[in-house]
Structure 1
Amino acid sequence: MDELVELSYLDAVVRETLRLHAPVPSTVRVAMKDDILPVDTPFTDKYGVVHDGINVRKGDSIFIPILAINRSEAIWGTDAKEFNPDRWASLPEVASQVPGVWGHLMTFLGGPRACIGYRFSLVEMKALLFTLVRAFEFELAVPASDVGKRSTLVQRPFLRSDPESKSQLPLLVKPYRKTSGLS
């Protein structure tokens, strides 16, 4: 565990993976009381009225677009849809305003309804990556263009060439062979 904590780049890879590919793309919450949700930037409605909040009534459903927030160019910059672990070396100032329970991400949500197992999930993910990446080489067994995502409650990969089949992601897995670098 001490080794895992010291691996800052592994942490950046895990953060970037969970930012860009959150397992749960969105969720819904129900308002427990009448309230006003504040907004960062005032907006004008279709009647020309400027608002600095959104009125919600008890029982209203509130859609939380996890992936949209995690991929927002306003928060993460123009490369928001690109995998870039180096972005975690200097966290954008705006990202620190994202109210997630971990890593300035909405992946595990935030507040009293945040994912209670997020710490366990992170430790498991880091340990698994640490072990597998050191022991194996991974390569897609199909062209990347053949891989799509299905979103129900969670995102799952499928093959566009076989859309009727269950979730799948064919990989070629080979033992990692360290080369000496000598010619």
Structure 2
Amino acid sequence: MGGVCISSREQYIDRCRAYLGTAQTGVLNLDSTTLLLAYFKTKLIRMERTIIFCMLFFFSSTVLAAASHRAVKYRQILLVIEKLEHAVKDKDVEWLHTPENPVEGCVDTALSCFKNGTLQLQPLNSQVNATFTKAIRVFRKYTIRSPGKQCESSCESYKKKPPKEFLTSFAKLIQKLLKNEYSTQQS
């Protein structure tokens, strides 16, 4: 392995001597140390460029991954809501406070209301209990960003609706957030 490197260096030095000899630069007696330094300098420059390129690629991919993580989470929540709509008891249950069209600063509060509301849902029957439990577990793990400013409307200020309408409104809000997430990623 060491022999291959030496022969390539020697070939490089010979090529440099031949080029410099024909270029009439006035430097005919170059020693191998000077040519070797020139060889390593070009290798070092290539290596620096490669490292910089790799770092740029890594940082740009982590920024894209961080933004898309939220979108993946929203899609997961949408799927869970679709499953819950068929597994939720809608009659003889307490209606839930249902945020609809929250203003810009109150989205996190609305999400918090939906999260707390989903924890109050009841399964339709014992056959869907396993599906229901898995779905509720997703909502328990979901963390909501803390709002930057205090929202004036609380969960109790929203109108109460049956569980299926509650889930439909929740799905609409998540779809809106997902659409916003994709539009911010593209711009």
Say whether the fold is shared (TM-score over 0.5). no
Question: Which protein is richer in helix relative to its size?
Answer: 2
Greater length-normalized contact order (CA 8 Å, ≥ 6 residues apart): 2
**Max Rg structure:** 2
Question: Which protein is richer in strand relative to its size?
Answer: 1
Q: Place the TM-score, normalised by the shorter chain, in its bin.
A: under 0.3
